[in-house]
Every structure is written in C-alpha cells, then in structure tokens.
Chain A
Amino acid sequence: MNLFEYIRAGSVAEAVAAGALPGTAYLAAGTNLLDLMKGGVAAPARLVDITRLPGLDGIAVAADGATHIGALVRNSALASHPHIAKTYPMVAEALLAGASAQLRNAATTAGNLMQRTRCPYFYDTASPCNKRRPGSGCQAVGGATRLHAVLGHSPHCIAVHASDLCVPLAALGAVVEIAGAGGTRTVPLGEFHRLPEDHPERETVLEPGDLVTGLILPAEAAAFAGHGRYLKVRDRTSYAFATVSAAAALTLDGDRIGAGRLALGGVAAKPWRVAEAEAVLAGAAPGADAFGRAADALLAGAAPSGPANAFKIELARRTVVRALTLAQAGTPARMPALPASPFARSAGALHA
C-alpha cells in the first residue's frame, strides 16, 4: 500500500473541498478501497475519512412517503431496518445476499454504489486494463470471460458492476443525492453508473470532489412491497458475486399485473433496466408468457463478450422469469435463511 495523507473531514463542505484535490479518495468503511490499495490497484495520495460526518447515518421517511437513506448507513443496518425490510423487501434481500456478514457490518450504502468491478484483469496489475490505466488495452477481451458482461459492453471494457444492492434500487427508481462544489444535486440511480464506451475509466457521473450523501427511494416504490423478490444465481450459495441476478416486483390488480419493475445484475457495467420490459408487464396476465416476453425485452441486444459467457444470456432470461414467478407468489413473510438463493427452501421456486 502506498503512503497517503489522512484527513478526517468534519463537515460535508470540508470533505468536498478536500476531495476535489487530484489524487484524493473518500474513505468510508474501506472494504473495497483498502483491498484495492493493498493490491496496488488504487494508489490515492490522500484519503478523506468521511465516517465522522454528522447526519449521514440515518434512515428517514418524509411526509410524502419517500425514504431517505444516509450514505453511511451500513449494509446490515439497512437490511434489518424495519421500514426497509417491510416496504422495500427486495432491497433487504439483495443486501443479505451480498458479501459476508462481516463485510455487511462494515460496508456502507454509498460505498456499495462506488465499489469497483471485480474483473480479475482489473485486479491484476500486470495486465493492461483500460479502467486502471486508460488507453492500455483490455486483457479480458479474448481472456477468461465466464463472468463478464453480455449487455452494454464495448471493445475497451467488458467488466460488470458487482453490486447486488444497486439492482433493486435501480428497479425501484432510487435517486442518488450528491454534494459537490456547486451544491447538492440528485441523479437517478439508473443514470449514475456509465457504460464503458470509449472511456471505461469513467464509471459514474461524479465529478472530482463530488460526494454521495444519500439515496432516496420514491414513495411510489412502496406499492411493490407485497410482490418484490431478488434472485441471485452464483457459483457458491453464499459469499460470492452474482453470475446473474434479477430484481423483480409487481403490483397485481385482480387477475392482471398493474405495474412491473425489473432489473438485472451481473450482466453489465450498471444495473440493467429497460422501460420496454416493464411496459410488457403492465396490464398483462401474470404468467410464463408475459414473464418470458418481459425477459426477452430486457435482454434485447444482449451479446456475449466472449465465448465463455454466452450462457449468461439464457441464464439471465430464466432468472428473470423465475424472479417474476417468485414475485407473483408474494414476498415471503420471513426472510429466507438463504436470501435470494434459488436453493432457499422457502423460496417457493418452480424447479422447471
């Protein structure tokens, strides 16, 4: 790990001013950043510790029903918060399907958004990587690509964003609150992460010094509380990143779907949400036919980024159908012992 200057910020304004200096990184729990620094993947000259910033560790429900989640709320605290678990159950399920209990006790909400890809070539400093060293090339292309992107990738980068949390947040239309030199602004989570295109090193819309201060779940997201599921397919039943994951939520209006929300994880550099897929669900009769058509619309344009990941397209399609089937059955009264797992006994899954 490189030597760095350590600054403990006392206010958001102080943090933003210090954060704008070149070579500066914000430190919250550090569960991803310290790992990157130990591997020489990240080498910030200055760390601005934001863990003592006042007012960023709370969850508050506004009069209009919107829920504000502070940037420093730990993953475990967010998942176990009664309002979150009851009103946005797929957010809790996704959190509990991520990482290990130790990491969830430390990792923060904003840190989850800001985590870097787990592409092994990004981590291997001996490999060229356009994210780590812009313009150096991409060793993943033509390499071992089993877990790489099948949507939104470019010839310059085929990495995926590893977050579970961001998938249901994107589906529910969460908004990111950002403090910067010019004041505070909000950006929909769906527009927060960038696709790689020609500049894979630009991963988010943040400008130097910008600090994520919180997330807002809009009031209308509460309508999906009764039928919201996160389903995560992975190589190990616990403590593994998604091969493919899906967040699926419905409102049911008699024998018809009122509205549907849908997003995929593990397939692109951002959570993948497509308006056409949700339009297929609105007003349709819930079932294999509508769910299949929604999955097809969500995966329109999917293409393998290497021969080893072609299977992810069909896997994603089936994961979406199964997640929608679980959502239709209803949010379980209790969180399954294996959250989001297709192997959970209480998941009520169809083993078709």
Chain B
Amino acid sequence: MSIPLQLTVNGERRDLVLEDPRVTLLDALRERLQLTGTKKGCDRGQCGACTVLVDGARVNACLALAVSHDGARIETVEGLARGEALHPVQAAFIAHDAFQCGFCTPGQIMSAVGLIREMRAAGETAVDVERVREGMSGNLCRCGAYAGITEAVVAAAQTEDAA
C-alpha cells in the first residue's frame, strides 16, 4: 500500500508517500520529515508534548492519522523563530525560566501560541491567569515548571506579535 500525502509544514510544501495508513502526524513529522522538535511523550493524547498547530489550531499530533490530514497546514516549533530572532513565546519561556529538562517545552510553546490565538479570536483582551492555567492544562510538565510556564504565557500574551 502506498499513500501519497501532501502537507504544508511551516509554510513549505512537503510531499511524502506513506507505505502504511497507521502513521500518525507525529511520526510523519519526526520520522519522515526529520522535524524532531515535536516530541513524543505519552503517545496517547495525555501529555501534550506533541502539540502542533493544524490549520491554525493546536492539536495532539499523536492522536491524528497523517493520512487523514492530506492537504493540511502544519506549524511546528521549528517554524516559530525568524532566523536568529526568537518568537515572543520562546523568548518569554527563557525570560521566565519556564522549563527545566526541556522535553515538554516545544509542546508547551506551541500550545501557548495556540492559546494566545484562541484568546485573541475570542476578543479576550485582558489576560486572566486562571484562564491561562486552564488553557494550558493539556500540557504536562514532569519537572513541575508550571509557575514559570504560566508567567511566560501571561507575559507573551501581552506582546503584540505573539500569535
């Protein structure tokens, strides 16, 4: 079985052929396109380490079949920085010490970018800390850097170009 698949990843068209329909979007990104910034944590939709944006919305890439996403527009952590200039959410994670081991960080950052977009789409101008905590609950951090993560997301949400 060979299944042709076309994705737009970080603005670039990528064509691949899957030999098996079982390939998840996560494995397609990591194993086929060598974009290993997106992490495989639980692989069961519980930890959020695999969070990417699909057609602008954050999802768990481990619970998405690649074949079902033919033609989709994917954004991963590799696509955030502009050259040497970090994305405001990335910069905020460093400024607020929002990680320890760093394994969950790409998922946290992509989730934060998605959350900030969601809040702006809903016209939520004031950033509520409780809303941020709730909105980030799909991303677990085993090091327990939640205090810094929350601070970073609140700070980034107040910068203009964070979405």
Q: Which residues of A line the B interface, CB within 8 A?
A: 1, 3-6, 27, 29-31, 34-35, 38-39, 47, 49, 51, 74, 76, 80, 99-103, 105-106, 236-239, 337-339, 345
B45 & A31 in contact (Cβ 8 Å cutoff): yes
In the assembled complex, 8 residue pairs joining A and B whose CB atoms fall closer than 8 Å, in A order, are: A3-B22, A6-B3, A6-B67, A30-B65, A47-B65, A74-B57, A101-B115, A105-B58
Q: Is B133 an interface residue (CB 8 A)?
A: yes
CB pair A101–B68 under 8 Å, yes or no, is: no
Q: Is the CB of B60 closer than 8 A to any CB of chain A?
A: yes
* B137 close to chain A: CB less than 8 A: yes
B63 near A106 with CB under 8 A, answer yes
Q: Which 9 A-B pairs have the closest CB atoms?
A: A100-B138, A238-B137, A6-B21, A337-B130, A337-B131, A239-B137, A105-B57, A106-B59, A102-B138
B103-128 vs A, CB cutoff 8 Å, 1 = contact: the mask equals: 00000000100110010011000001
Residue positions of B touching A, CB distance < 8 A: 3, 20-22, 24, 43-45, 48, 51, 54, 57-60, 63-65, 67-68, 111, 114-115, 118, 121-122, 128, 130-131, 133-135, 137-139
CB-based contact A101/B138 at 8 Å = yes
A233 to chain B, nearest CB (A): 16
Using A30-B68, A38-B44 as known contacts, say yes or no to A102 and B131 having CB atoms under 8 A apart. no
Rounded to whole angstroms, the CA-CA distance of A76 and B133 in the bound complex is 17
Residues of chain B contacted by A101 (CB below 8 angstroms): 58, 111, 114-115, 118, 135, 137-138
Chain A residues contacting B24 (CB-CB under 8 Å) are: 34
Q: How many A-B residue pairs have CB under 8 A?
A: 95
Of A101, A337, A345, chain B has the most CB atoms within 10 Å of the CB of A101
- Structural contact, A100 and B48, CB atoms closer than 8 A: yes
Give chain A residues whose Cβ lies under 8 Å from the Cβ of B133. Answer: 238
Q: How far is the CB of B69 from chain A (nearest CB, A)?
A: 9
Chain B contacts of A76 at CB under 8 A? 57, 118
- Chain B residue numbers with a CB within 8 Å of A239 are 137-138
B58 close to A102 (CB less than 8 A): yes
Which residues of the partner chain B approach A47 to less than 8 Å between Cβ atoms? 21, 65
Most chain A CB neighbours (cut-off 10 Å) among B3, B111, B131, B137: B137
Decide if B134 touches A238 in the complex (CB within 8 Å): yes
CB distance B22 to A337 under 8 Å? no
Closest Cβ of chain B to A322, distance in Å, is: 20
In the bound complex, do residue A34 and residue B65 qualify as a contact, i.e. CB atoms below 8 Å apart?
Answer: yes
Asked whether, in the complex, the Cβ of B22 is within 8 Å of the Cβ of A35, the reply is no
In the bound assembly, the distance between CA atoms of A339 and B67 in angstroms comes to 34
State the Cβ distance, A114 to closest chain B Cβ, in Å: 15
Q: Kindly state the separation between the CA atoms of A47 and B1 in the bound complex, as whole angstroms.
A: 15
Residues B68 and A27 in contact, CB atoms below 8 Å apart:
yes
**Nearest CB in chain A: distance from B82 CB, A:** 25
In the complex, given contacts A34-B24, A100-B137, what are 13 additional A-B residue pairs having Cβ atoms less than 8 angstroms apart?
A: A3-B22, A6-B3, A30-B63, A34-B65, A35-B45, A80-B122, A101-B111, A101-B135, A102-B58, A102-B138, A237-B137, A337-B134, A338-B134
Give every chain A residue within 8 A of B44 (Cβ-Cβ): 35, 38-39
How close is B150's CB to chain A, nearest CB, in angstroms? 13
Q: Which residues of A contact B130 (CB under 8 A)?
A: 337-338, 345
Interface centre among B21, B63, B67 (most CB of A within 10 A): B63
Bound Cα distance A4, B65 (Å): 12
* Chain B residues, Cβ within 8 Å of A49: 65, 67-68
| Min C-beta distance of A86 to chain B, whole Å | 14
> When chains A and B are docked, how far (Å) is the Cα of A106 from the Cα of B137?
16
Contact B138 A38 (CB under 8 A): no
Kindly report which residue of chain B lies nearest to residue A6, judged by CB atoms: B21
CB distance from B19 to the nearest CB of A (A): 11
**Which of B60, B128, B131, B134 is within 8 Å of A106, CB to CB?**
B60
Nearest CB of A to B117, in Å? 11
B3 and chain A: residue at smallest CB distance: A6
* A348 CB, min distance to chain B CBs, angstroms: 16
* Residue of chain A at shortest CB distance from B50: A102
CA distance A6 to B122 in the complex (A): 37
- Chain B residues with Cβ below 8 Å from A51 are 68
B67 → A minimal CB distance (Å): 6
Q: Which of A29, A38, A47, A100 has the most CB of B within 10 A?
A: A100
Complex CA–CA separation, A100 to B115 (angstroms): 11
Alpha-carbon distance A188/B51, docked complex (angstroms): 36
Q: Report B92 CB to chain A, min CB distance, Å.
A: 19
